[in-house]
């Protein structure tokens, strides 16, 4: 088992390295000269050159890349081209809203879609199954931002149950924090549920046809035990894989949801940085986000071991 985990850990390293190379080259291929931006509009050639020198942009690309790698590995993500603030502290400030939103919406969609998928498969072709499948098909096609505005319109403007946007930090007031997060998390969770529900239903349908499920039933076991202990445990692995896949979708969704609900998170940080062409922030934030994605998938790889003992014995 340790060997399996170690193998997974080692496999994540090259992926991270490639993310680093991709992000670094994107930024360096970008037109527009960060030194010229920083030096200001009235700067003459010498001033821009001096700025370029002080930013290390005159060094050969491999040297710059090495500096970038060294910085990242010690947690130094550089400074914002505009404000001069350290990017690591900017990201830390923005991390709580983003992570809260991602965790809450992912929890909502897992809590909704797994029971929905299991029950839909159990009662295949029933009205419940049809409603679930229609909702799942809808979740695929609904644009996050449009759903966000509709939900704001109904629940914030018309009924007034929730605030229309904004964010309250957890340490300031926990209930307010939750109150502000529920609406955006629901929007993101609904859209994210579609894939997980469909996958749960599809794998459950297959597992329910297996001989051991029939055996369990003929032993006289109750349906709940058959469904949960015999069927779902065997369907859990593909479901876990899909959850891992959909994390990327959740992160993309967070960026849009933060804009709709005016939440000051990492997504807003990136979109603001892009409109200002602050490539230092863009580069570092994307690297951090990709790192989170790779870590989450690593955790999921390790969870397989607990869900499916076969992996434990194979390795």
Partner 1 sequence: MSNESVTKQELAFQGLREKIPWYISAKDAVLRNPNMLIGLVFISIVVVLALICPLLIKIGILRDPYIFDPLNRLLPPGRSPDGDLFLFGTGPLGRDIFSMVIYGSRISLLVGLSVAILAASIGTMIGILAGYFSKLDDIIMRFMDGIMAIPGILLAIVLMAILGPKVENVIIALTVVDAPRTSRIVRSVVLTIRESQYVDAANAFGASKARILFRHIAPNTFAPVIVQATFLFASAILSEASLSFLGAGVPPDIPTWGNIIGEGRIYFIGHSNIVILPSLGLFFLALAVNMFGDGLRDSLDPKLRGKT
User: What residue ranges bind partner 1 (CB under 8 A)?
Assistant: 14-19, 21-23, 26, 29-31, 137-138, 140-146, 149-150, 152-153, 157, 195, 198-199, 201-202, 205, 242, 248-249, 251-252, 255-256, 259-260, 270-271, 274-275, 277, 282, 286, 289-290, 293-294
Q: Which is nearer to partner 1, 100 or 297 (CB)?
A: 297
Q: Which is nearer to partner 1, 198 or 230 (CB)?
A: 198
Alpha-carbon distances of 43 from 49, 52, 215, rounded to whole Å: 10, 12, 80
Minimum distance from residue 122 beta carbon to partner 1 (Å): 14
Q: Which is nearer to partner 1, 177 or 250 (CB)?
A: 250
Minimum distance from residue 82 beta carbon to partner 1 (Å): 15
Minimum distance from residue 265 beta carbon to partner 1 (Å): 13
Distance CA 162, CA 179 (A): 7
Q: Which is nearer to partner 1, 104 or 270 (CB)?
A: 270
Half-sphere exposure of 31 (CA within 13 A, CB side): 0
Give the alpha-carbon dihedral of 12, 17, 18, 21, to 10 degrees.
160
Minimum distance from residue 115 beta carbon to partner 1 (Å): 17
Partnered with residue 86 across adjacent β-strands are 79
Q: Which is nearer to partner 1, 128 or 169 (CB)?
A: 128
Contacts of 132 (CB under 8 A, 6+ apart): 116, 117, 119, 120, 197, 201
Q: What share of the chain is helix, strand, coil (3-state, %, to 5)?
A: 80, 0, 20
Minimum distance from residue 234 beta carbon to partner 1 (Å): 16
């Amino acid at each position: 088992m340790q060997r399996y985990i170690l193998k997974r850990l080692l496999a994540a390293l090259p992926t991270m390295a490639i993310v680093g190379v991709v992000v670094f080259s994107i930024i360096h291929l970008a037109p527009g000269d960060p030194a010229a931006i920083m030096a200001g509009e009235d700067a003459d050639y010498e001033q821009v050159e001096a700025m370029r020198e002080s930013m290390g942009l005159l060094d050969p690309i491999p040297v710059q890349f090495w500096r970038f790698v060294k910085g990242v590995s010690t947690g130094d993500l550089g400074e914002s081209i505009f404000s001069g603030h350290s990017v690591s502290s900017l990201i830390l400030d923005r991390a709580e809203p983003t992570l809260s939103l991602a965790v809450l919406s992912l929890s909502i969609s897992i809590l909704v879609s797994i029971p929905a998928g299991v029950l839909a498969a159990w009662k295949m072709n029933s009205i419940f199954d049809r409603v679930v499948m229609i909702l799942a098909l809808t979740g695929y096609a609904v644009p996050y931002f449009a759903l966000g505005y509709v939900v704001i319109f109904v629940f914030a403007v018309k009924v007034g149950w929730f605030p229309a946007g904004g964010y309250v930090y957890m340490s300031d007031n926990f209930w307010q924090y939750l109150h502000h997060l529920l609406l955006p998390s629901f929007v993101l969770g609904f859209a994210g549920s579609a894939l997980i529900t469909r996958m749960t239903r599809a794998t459950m349908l297959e597992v329910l046809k297996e001989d051991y499920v029939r055996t369990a039933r003929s032993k006289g076991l109750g349906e709940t035990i058959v469904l949960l202990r015999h069927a779902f445990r065997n369907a859990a692995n593909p479901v876990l894989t899909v959850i891992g896949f959909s994390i990327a979708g959740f992160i993309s969704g967070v960026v849009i949801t933060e804009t709709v609900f005016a939440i000051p998170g990492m997504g807003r940080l990136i979109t603001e940085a892009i409109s200002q062409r602050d490539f230092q922030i863009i580069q570092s934030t994307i690297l951090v986000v990709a790192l989170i994605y790779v870590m989450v998938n690593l955790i999921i790889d390790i969870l397989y071991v607990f869900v499916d003992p076969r992996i434990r014995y194979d390795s």
